[in-house]
Amino acid sequence: MTAQVGQPAPDFTLYDNDKNKLTLSELKGSNVLLLFFPVAFTSVCTAELCAVRDNLKYYESANARVFGISVDSIFALNKFKHEQNLNFPLLSDFNKEASKAYGSLYENWKYDMLGVSKRSAFVVDKEGVIRYAEVLENAGEQPNFEAINQTLQTLS
């Protein structure tokens, strides 16, 4: 089941691309934008995350911390982050627990890859409640950043 607006955000602890543990519930007091994406180094994922990189000041002004999440390893995510000069952490959901908790997991994706994150976006407010949720079935589409930005404006 997909995590829903108005519900507490499912908590998780994941390693970031720098091998640091991050626990969502420890970020209370900040708005959080979680961007699940299928696979590092693919064209749509790269375009999406680079657009966020280029607009990070907007998210920071909304007191929002941004995190990209995929089932890639921390090592692949670290290489991807540095090659694309991404200025926010990438979290490895290698064991697929966060993707499942947010209803954001393809059971069978392209080329018979099992358990790949669906492209999705969640805005979590300072109290840990989901205020925006979008899970895309088509990995070729990007989240509605206009709606995400409007949600963040109401929270700042």
For residue 121, list its beta bridge partners: 35, 134
Listed residue (83, 35, 26) closest to 59, CA to CA: 35
Instruction: Choose, from 45, 64, 76, 77, the residue flagged as catalytic.
Output: 45
DSSP designation for 74: H
Max distance between CA atoms of the chain, in angstroms, equals 42
Task: Give φ, ψ of 63 to 5 degrees.
Answer: 55, 40
* Apex 53 CA angle, 104 and 146, nearest 5: 65
Could you confirm whether 50 is annotated as catalytic? no
Helix (H, G, I), strand (E, B) or coil at 28: coil
Catalytic residues: 45
